[in-house]
């Protein structure tokens, strides 16, 4: 079973063909930086470029950083506002001439981590957070993945992600200790509502977990994502194959 997984992020689009039985990448990941906010059409071209790079003809899973309802993108907090209301399946389908399955980026990462990574074999309530330009969240229990938007939990009059994302740390030039403490406060607020037994932290910054985990106090066990930043690509591919069943 093979699918192309594509992860659309705030600063880059990444893709790779994936063996969805093992979660292994079948070729080196192709990454295209997107420094400016791309319009939906330009983004579709970029996604098309990734499919062409691999001369792909099969199913494609696309992880998008927004609320997904069927084929539609309902929100776009950190990408171009014209994505709101867009039919993503049509948009990316036209650009790649392949069948598209669309999924929220954090839900994609959760698919991969629960199947092949830090959540493998865990059946209890798990909360996955991806820390990047925004904060992505998904819950998992007993093989079911539930996409959430807890990055938009109200915090000091704004979305929590504005205070605790990896971008917020960069923007405010926060030390690992200050940012980790802030992140811990946010996670404990989520824990009071959700009571997960395991919390998985993903996103590029999870590679530096040893720098900030000592400052993040949680009730649940806190672990870094095992597929690190690759979970989005693998999970999107898994989703594409699942949607075919």
Q: Which residues bind ligand BGC (CB under 6 A)?
A: 65-67, 75, 77-78, 104-106, 130, 132, 134-136, 149, 151, 161
Pick the closer one to ligand BGC by CB: 68 or 95: 68
Shortest Å, Cβ 52 to ligand BGC: 25
Shortest Å, Cβ 1 to ligand BGC: 25
| Token code pair at residue 192 | 């009071």
Shortest Å, Cβ 205 to ligand BGC: 12
Shortest Å, Cβ 8 to ligand BGC: 9
Pick the closer one to ligand BGC by CB: 56 or 206: 206
Pick the closer one to ligand BGC by CB: 26 or 84: 84
Pick the closer one to ligand BGC by CB: 1 or 32: 32
Q: Which residue is nearest to ligand BGC (CB)?
A: 134
């Amino acid at each position: 079973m093979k699918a192309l997984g594509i992860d659309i992020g705030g600063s880059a689009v990444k893709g790779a063909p994936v063996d969805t039985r093992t979660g292994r990448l079948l070729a080196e990941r192709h990454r295209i930086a997107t420094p400016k906010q791309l319009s939906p059409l330009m983004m579709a071209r970029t996604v098309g470029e990734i499919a062409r790079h691999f001369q792909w003809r099969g199913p494609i899973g696309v992880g998008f950083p927004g609320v997904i309802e069927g084929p539609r993108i309902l929100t776009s907090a950190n990408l171009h506002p014209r994505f709101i209301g867009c039919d993503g399946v049509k948009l990316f389908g036209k650009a790649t001439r392949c069948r598209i399955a669309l999924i929220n980026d954090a839900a994609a990462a959760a698919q991969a981590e629960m199947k092949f990574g830090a959540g493998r074999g865990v059946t209890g309530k798990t909360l996955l957070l991806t820390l990047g330009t925004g904060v992505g969240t998904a819950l998992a229990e007993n093989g079911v993945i539930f996409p959430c938007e807890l990055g938009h939990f109200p915090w000091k009059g704004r979305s929590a992600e504005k205070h605790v994302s990896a971008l917020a740390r960069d923007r405010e030039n926060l030390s690992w200790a200050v940012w980790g403490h802030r992140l811990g406060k946010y996670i404990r607020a989520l824990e009071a509502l959700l009571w997960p037994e395991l919390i998985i932290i993903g996103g590029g910054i999870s590679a530096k977990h040893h720098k900030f985990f000592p400052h993040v106090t949680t009730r649940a066990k806190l672990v870094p994502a095992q597929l690190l930043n690759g979970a989005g690509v693998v999970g999107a591919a898994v989703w594409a194959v699942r949607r075919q069943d």
